[in-house]
Structures are given as structure tokens and as C-alpha cells.
Amino acid sequence: MKKIKLDIVNETVYYEKLDNGLDVYVLKKNNFHSSFATFMTNFGGKDVEFIPINEDKMVKMPSGIAHFLEHKLFEQETGESVHDFYKKSGSYVNAMTGYKSTKYIFKGPNNFKENLNYLLDYVQSPYFTDQNVEKEKGIILEEARMDLDNPYRLFSEAVLKNLFKSSIYENTIIGSMDDIKSITKEDLYRCYNSFYHPSNMALLIVTNEDENEIIELVKNNQKNKQFKKDFKIIKKEYEETEKVRTKKEIIYGNVNETRVCYSLKFKLSYFNASKIEVLDYFTIFFDIVIGLLSSFNLKLKEDKIIKKDIDFNVLTEKVKDEEYVIFNLSTFTEKTNKFISLLKEQLLKKDYTKELFDLYKKTIISDMNYQFNSINGIMRFLTAEYEFYNKISNDIIKIESNLNYDRFKEITNKINTDNESIVIMKKNKKTML
């Protein structure tokens, strides 16, 4: 068992890779009265083209199949409800599918070891029949219909789709109606066997239980289960460029206010920096130049150009051998052209000082410490880092403690607006911009 020291937050994560390839991470919190476990696989909504295990040809699965599979793993051959099992100990259970991964979680104050065993068992015991797959279709189709009425999901999906020329975000996580209807039990087993191998999964745990006992429990649970050796996942490799797919799109939804997202796309290599450097330095940059307390944000609200604060996020996406960085900046405004014009001007001003940089650097570090005061915050950190790096290490904390102003200027001075994409969502009434 390896110890991973997380310096700034003064915590230790215990790690072991099992013989079957499963990554197990345990962070012990003696003063917590509840435990939290996440069992996750690197299989999500965008993984629809791959060579299934024991086959030799690339296939294209129906969109939404990762989400459908998540639903079906809650149905056990014994007929027992997973939700009912956890309810007996007062534990919360859920699952969620994203574009890149699927997570199965539980948390609660009681029966942690029994609940952990059950988590591993139900996720690793698929039971699909023609009948239960057909029954599930009705439930998921209803969920998909509700999604069609969710303007914010439609908005975020349009933003991602318009940024990438390849088809990685062509499909939605839940899938189209026709794709959902077409899914078979054979499709589900092919996906499950191809992606739910322990070597493509991780178990993340926050608990007050002894870390040695927990890892031993996981080992005992796994040792009698049979998994294919020499496991290899072969996904389709897409072609991508730094150019966006769609420069501008107006969509319509059931909204009362017009929303706009201004996005920029770069190759990570353009910044000559690591992913975490780009993430941290540009988080500080956007906080300073357009954030909640920036003079720019306050002036736009004062002049009634925007109705709410400007939200922003920094994303990364690897396509084939190239990593891409995305900046999404969004707000609510009826004056979309004016907002975009002023925003572009502000981004190129480089309107910051060392004093502001030092202030927001301290904020990042204090936010991390605050995050480790709650079990939910710790699990958010662990899952985000695992998805970001495919491991949990002290690297992110080392980099954040060594952020410096000269490097900040060097990286953020490279921002430009050459590869922009704009999505505007208006009311369900087609009017000209």
C-alpha cells in the first residue's frame, strides 16, 4: 500500500492497485461520522465507437448506451432493489453518467463495510434480459422527453458540439429517442464487458474506518471474481483541429431570458504549460478580469448590459494525441452583440496586477482547504483529480502552491480570440439578433 501525502490540506491518501488492475484510494477522516464511496468506470456518453472485447471490428453503439447501462445495473437477478438495500442502513445511493465516465456512489453513517461489499457486487453483477431491457426503455424515454424540455442542458450540449469538428460530442448523454428504442441486451453486455473491467475502473473512499481493513475487504471481494487478463480497450480515434465547428448558433428554448456563451478553443501545446497550470492560471485570470468582483462585471450590470454575473469554466479534452483547452464564458443578456464586443475587448486588455494575482492565488488554496472540511467536498476533489489525471497524486497541490506571477503573465498573455464559438439561447419565438 502506498501513501500519498496531500501537502497543503495535510491529508494522506492510501493507494493500492489490485492484481486485477483496480485502483483503490482511501482517505481516512477520523472525525467524520459518515463514509462515502464512489465506484467509477472510464466509460461515458461519448464512448460509442470501439472494438468490443473478443471482437476485431470497430462498432458504433446507439447514443445513450452508457446511461442506459447505468440504469440497468441497479436491477439485480435476485430481484432485490439496490435502493431498498441501502435504505435499510439510512444510506444515500445514486449513479450518474457524464461524457467521460459513469459513477456509482453511496454515503451514510452506518454499515460501511457491508455497503461497500454490496456496491462492488451489484456493479460487477450485470443482469440483462430482453424483458427487463424493454421495460427500462419506457423509463429512459420519459427521462429523454423531459430533457428535451430542459433548456440549460440543450444549451450546454450545443456549446460542446459546436466547439469540436469531430463527432465526440455529436450525441447527447441520454441519447436520441430512436437510439434508446434500438438498444438490446446484447449491446449492453458488449459495452459492459468492454469497459467495466477493474483495470478501467477506480474505487474512491472517504471513511473513518481503518484503511488497512478497507483495502483488505476490497481485495477479498475481488479475489474470487473472474476477469479477463491482458485486457485492452480500443476506442475510435477521431481527427480534430483547433478550429471550431460552428462560429455562431442561435437556438430556442423554454426560457424567459436570453443566454449567451462565448467560447474559445486552443491546443494545450500552444500555452507551453501543463493542464493544471492552464486551469489554475486562467481560473485566476477570469476571476480578476470578468469575475464576480471585477470592475468589468460590476460596470456591465450597472449599465444594464448583463442581468446576472458572468460564469466561466476551463475544460480540457484529449482527442487522439492532442489535448485541447476550452474557455466558456456565459451570462444572461438581451444585448448579446454589445456584451460579446466588450468581453473580447476586456480579455485582450490583460487588466490585472500582481496584488490581485496574489489575492486570488490565496483564494484557490483556501478554497481547497475549505473543501476538505466536508465529506462531499473531499469526494469532489478526489473524483475530479482522478478524471483529470487518471490518478490521484500530490502533483496538483504542488503546482498550486508554486503558482507565480511571472508564469501567470507568460501563459495568460497568449490568449486570443481567433477560434471563437458563440451560442445564444432565446425564447421560443424566432426573432432576429
Catalytic residue positions?
A: 70
Return d(Cα 125, Cα 52) in angstroms, integer: 19
CA distances from 111 to 29, 95, 125 (A): 16, 20, 21
What is the SS3 assignment for 268? Answer: helix
Return d(Cα 52, Cα 88) in angstroms, integer: 38
Three-state secondary structure along 27-60?
A: EECCCCCCEEEEEEECCCCCCCEEECCCCCCCEE
> Contact at 8 Å (CB) between 105 and 204?
no
Return d(Cα 68, Cα 134) in angstroms, integer: 11
The enclosing H or E element of 63 equals none
Return d(Cα 25, Cα 392) in angstroms, integer: 8
Which residues partner with 40 through β-bridges? Answer: 103, 202
> Contact at 8 Å (CB) between 422 and 262?
yes
> Contact at 8 Å (CB) between 266 and 419?
yes
322-332 and 311-319 strand pairing = antiparallel
> Contact at 8 Å (CB) between 389 and 381?
no
Return d(Cα 29, Cα 214) in angstroms, integer: 13
Q: How far apart are the first and last CA of the chain?
A: 60
Return d(Cα 277, Cα 159) in angstroms, integer: 24
- Between 336-349 and 275-290, two packed helices, what is the crossing angle to 10 degrees? 120
Which residues partner with 423 through β-bridges? Answer: 249, 261
Provide the 8-state DSSP code for 422. E
The pair phi, psi for residue 413, each rounded to 5°, is -65, -15
What is the SS3 assignment for 361? Answer: helix
Residue for grid cell 486551469: 279
Closest CA to 400 of 284, 246, 242: 284
